[in-house]
Structure 1
């Protein structure tokens, strides 16, 4: 398989040989100028930008010898240690990657959360009501508004009609809003091979209707990491599977002669956990004092009426294997705690420990994430490879809020000073004329 893919990588490298322009070229016209054939125009395909998430992929997974295609892209492109935002969970970080602001600002503050203006409602990873998402536009909305066609073969939030509103009490009755021009609702049952084929099919379109920005998402590494832990045979099988699919994507692009800037990321790493490393929260804060909103590597608490002082007395003292704060006192380095969707108290577990409502009744070993973003186990993957990037370069440690500004640069969108970062960390490794 590796030998068969070498020509595809070579072809993609040849396509990447041109210097990266200050402003990406406009899409070729659908109508050929006099004396120029449409086939000749197709030979001069404009680069596309493809953002790929491999959920739960720790950068050290590249060292296992199971990912020749990803390792080749990393060696021939740009890599660097990327920190997730807090909380180091799936939905907050995927939304940060495409908005360029941290969860405390964009409002997807957790995988599960509540909002005081919607009492009785709970946000889960199935929620697509724009109410939860509308604080900051994702990059595909900005691109569509600028006339840049986009497509999403899965990405958390890409099914949301951003800017729209729920028209009635019916959950799916949404009016207005913007999505990628092409998008598909997430289905874990759709194999990764099918996801790759859809991206390649989009690239077969004529220039005028071909998307210039595409996202796709692979969940199997995270699923296996949760199930049995990051060092399990299941994770190794998942790594090889996703790597093969990335290789098929590269090969398909090369066969079409389609230059592409591939931005390959993960949302977080994965830590080994077990039933022997659990803090039982009901032994610290009784259910008569507070409601646990979310639990796991961190836990959040909503005090019951009149019980704030009791909850503070129970939590805000030294505890083994966890540290707790009022939301307004969460350490500044987490950039977290100002949003109304963050409950009144937060406790963060020591890496590898979990905070659960009650003590576990079964023995288990598994994986989890949501720990301190500065913990080595939470480090996220970053690989950039394509005509925009100098080969074989590394950048220093950076926060994942820098990815969206990089995407704006690749798409020729103006810098946005309201974001939480810039593309400065990447400027030394971008090719220029």
Structure 2
């Protein structure tokens, strides 16, 4: 019996050794390839024609050697609606962030502002679709994400935030923002974000205050270009390959001093409820004053175009969301409608205008292993950015989006 067990043990050992010989050693097998991170950068209010080798050597190098193009922003050409479009692939009328200031009939008396974090502002509550930004989709798929100041990123959607995020701090220098992303990229693979978003706001701030082409705006452009150069050098120094996508939310138009009008000169104060003004005017009816307001708006100058809700041109894809106010007045680019006492009513720059205006065009640049070199794309709508990000991080296309990856397909390897 003992001989039988010894024989069986010998046969078992022989079988194990022979099978081991069929498999390559652990060193030869190696590790599974690491995920190549994707970084999306937004430069608020950056016009594509700001790029030049002298002023923006880092962005110009990407434009020359990587992928370049321009985008048509979504209507209205305002920061918060377009950043949420970039993150969701939905137009503002569908994702519900229809303006930088708004109210919701389902929540009377509550006003949306830049620090509003209630999920129902952001998740499409009461609208036709459930809204989910790209970082929430990534987290659901166990892809870690990191967000540096993107509008809406401090709000938990379905209880989910990015694994790494920071509350907005406007005074944090651009290179320190870039350093946060570099710190994320230095982490071990298991806690390194596969998707990172980074926001720069100074170009927009100075564009508003001083106008495109001003020394102050030029300095802001130079600084953000330097921060992007710092980021790229840091990535190269750690031998970290990334797919880098750089966009803006909208452009910026010079204000035309003799095309600044005051709402009080055309409409009696008691006839409207103000929502917001500037490069676009949003106002609501006052009960009992509807007819008077409609007549007053007809007297606006020819460079101001007013529509009631539901009457806007179809190309704007706007006006069906319950948050859209009763009236919208759109000046020609450079004109402004003012109410109150702004600090600089007659100079500087503004946006909010028709997305078809060349001044409103948005930036698109990309570089990295996923992209072809030296590719220039025709103008495309910014609803294609979220589908592109999904492709880059390995997610299936989202359902019921307003855009597809098709307009940027030829830039992909």
- TM-score, with normalisation over the residues of structure 1? 0.85
2:138 aligned residue? 143
Q: CA deviation at 1:219?
A: 0.8
Distance (Å, rounded) in 1 between the aligned partners of 2:35 and 2:323:
42
For the pair 1:154 / 2:149, whether they are aligned, the reply is yes
For the pair 1:391 / 2:373, whether they are aligned, the reply is yes
For the pair 1:304 / 2:286, whether they are aligned, the reply is yes
* Comparing 305-314 and 130-139, the one that deviates more: 305-314
Q: Is the 8 A contact 1:45 1:258 kept in 2?
A: no
Q: CA deviation at 1:276?
A: 3.1
Distance (Å, rounded) in 2 between the aligned partners of 1:276 and 1:194:
41
> After the TM superposition, which residues 77-156 of structure 1 pair with which residues of structure 2 at under 5 Å, given as runs?
77-135=66-124, 136-156=131-151
CA RMSD in angstroms comes to 1.8
1:46-82 deviation line (CA, Å, top 9, x unaligned): 3110000011110000037210011101111111120
Q: Is the 8 A contact 1:275 1:362 kept in 2?
A: no
Distance (Å, rounded) in 1 between the aligned partners of 2:273 and 2:404:
39
> After the TM superposition, which residues 171-250 of structure 1 pair with which residues of structure 2 at under 5 Å, given as runs?
177-250=159-232
Q: CA deviation at 1:429?
A: 1.6
Distance (Å, rounded) in 2 between the aligned partners of 1:360 and 1:276:
16
2:27 is matched with which residue: 24, 35, 52?
35
1:66 aligned residue? 55
The DSSP-based 3-state class of the residue aligned with 1:382 is: strand
1:335 aligned residue? 317
Distance (Å, rounded) in 2 between the aligned partners of 1:206 and 1:254:
16
Q: Is the 8 A contact 1:274 1:363 kept in 2?
A: no
Distance (Å, rounded) in 2 between the aligned partners of 1:68 and 1:150:
29
Distance (Å, rounded) in 1 between the aligned partners of 2:97 and 2:220:
28
Distance (Å, rounded) in 2 between the aligned partners of 1:64 and 1:34:
49
- TM-score, with normalisation over the residues of structure 2? 0.89
The DSSP-based 3-state class of the residue aligned with 1:365 is: coil
Q: Is the 8 A contact 1:47 1:261 kept in 2?
A: yes
For the pair 1:366 / 2:348, whether they are aligned, the reply is yes
Distance (Å, rounded) in 2 between the aligned partners of 1:266 and 1:181:
24
Q: Is the 8 A contact 2:260 2:345 kept in 1?
A: no
Q: Is the 8 A contact 1:81 1:398 kept in 2?
A: yes
The DSSP-based 3-state class of the residue aligned with 2:108 is: coil
Q: Is the 8 A contact 1:111 1:124 kept in 2?
A: yes
Q: In the superposition, relative to structure 1, how do residues 363 and 100 fare at CA in structure 2: closer, same or farther (>3 Å)?
A: closer
- Structure 1 unmatched runs, 5+: 1-32, 164-176
Distance (Å, rounded) in 2 between the aligned partners of 1:279 and 1:348:
12
Q: Is the 8 A contact 2:266 2:299 kept in 1?
A: no
* Comparing 55-64 and 229-238, the one that deviates more: 55-64
1:143-166 deviation line (CA, Å, top 9, x unaligned): 100111101111011111113xxx
